[in-house]
Structure 1
Amino acid sequence: MDEHIDNSRGVVLRPSLLPTYERGGSARSTPLVGTEIGAKAFLNGMTVIGPGAAIPLHTHNCEESIVILEGEAIAEIDGAQHALRPFETSWVPADIPHRFINASDKTPLRILWTYGRTDATRTLVETGETRPVVAEHDRSRVPQASA
């Protein structure tokens, strides 16, 4: 991030300069807006899902929106499957099971995610395990803006 940023007046984030975290299952995420830069109402970031891979079926404690940035996806929302192309967007209410599948066996899928709370959680449908979304990222390594 640029030096001498006053977070109370906003920041510019440059994903190419931010750390990316392996999430397993051929997915890696780059957190963007979060509490460490002053966000009070939402979190967002990007995830790349490898060819033919999928995020496990899960729910959240808040609403979520996904924008397809690159590639083609299958959004499975509450048992229904929807084909999505770049710039198409999903909205999923809290507690609705969903997942995103890379529809290509050759190219990565890049998504932009936004959660409606800074304390968003993910609960895996298969195991019932619930974790904070931010636990998927080593937040201690996220650069802090200087005041």
Structure 2
Amino acid sequence: MNKENNYILDRPEDDLGYLLLRTTTLWQRQMTIELHTLDLSFTQCMILISLGWLLQNSDDVVQMEISNHSNFDRMMVSKTLRTLQQRGLIKRKEHGTDTRAKCVFLTNKGIDTLKKVIEIKTNINNYFFEKLEIKDSIRKELKKLIN
């Protein structure tokens, strides 16, 4: 086999993109395992968390805001919200001024579930990232990439 090539690849363990992907995959896998106890998918969890964050700052949260905040596709958010509504975790009502939009709210069951999700996420974050000595600087640097 010809070992000559016209490209140079970093070793995976030296490539930031690869390391970020591996880290994210491992963290998401652990989240998925724990969320199974609540019968929630990872996507459902992230949408519940986004909705919770948005509701802390606004009384009228619409689907597009959830999509923008979570960075999930609008159709994915719509489908997931429908599932969460069927499970009694959220409710939707007509927006006061925009007839095309519906406001999304957590039900009492949704609030209880969100509290459990936050506890799971907090525990996994603490366990998963405890080895990092510079969490705050990593957080600051990652924010630069997404803002």
Whether TM exceeds 0.5 here: the answer is: no
Q: Which has the larger radius of gyration?
A: 2
| Richer in helix (by share) | 2
| Richer in strand (by share) | 1
- Tell me the TM-score normalised to structure 1 length: 0.30
The higher-RCO structure (CA 8 Å, 6+ apart) is 1
